Amino acid sequence: MTDQIVVGLASWIILDTNYPDFKSGSEAAFALVFSPKKPLEDIAPHAAVAPSRIHRGSGVYGIIAQVVHVAEDWWVIDAGVLAFQDSSPPVDAKPGAWLRGEIQIDIDPYDYFEHWGHQPGVPALIYEWRIDKIEVQTAPYVEISPRKFALDATKLGWREVAETKAFEDPAGEYLLHCTRLNGPRWPRSKRLP
């Protein structure tokens, strides 16, 4: 399993002052949050099953993952790296269960390091990363219905940049290409350095 990962980052996370702007070549600490592209399938484990992820583009991965923590309104999987979802787990998401499917992986906006990570009995989820490369989404937002906007699907693309500039591009979407350095660990404080 590789220590490289590509994760999504929306500008609003930086604008909320949860993190500073990121720079290529710098180091940062954060947890990962996931969102399934469609419901994950329950699979029966066998001797060859191991956590895995296959990069499918952007921050999307095909995964085989084991459920490692379940609470009423959030849960954690191990797909070669630990990630959580901030919503009620599906019925079949029991600790030890194996799931497969496709997920989007993004930077934790604040939920783990401000809330979940300080509760007793939760797994450590914060990793230290080196930011190897940063890309920004080049498609503009277009109005798809009154006061509702989405990226222009005909112009989707990524351009490499040296750093995020959330205050200059408040609707920006980024990809961070990262190498895992250490972790996981628990939050040291409510705000990460």
Domain ranges of the chain: 4-185
The continuous run of DSSP H or E covering 14 comes out as helix 11-15
pTM of the predicted model as reported, rounded to 2 decimal places: 0.91
> Model confidence over 134-164: pLDDT tens digits?
999 999 889 999 988 888 889 999 999 999 9
* DSSP category for residue 95: T
With tokens 């790296």, the residue in question is: 81
With tokens 């029966």, the residue in question is: 44
> Model confidence over 45-57: pLDDT tens digits?
777 789 999 999 9
> Model confidence over 63-96: pLDDT tens digits?
999 999 999 999 999 999 999 999 999 988 999 9
Q: In whole angstroms, what is the distance from residue 91 CA to residue 104 CA? A: 20
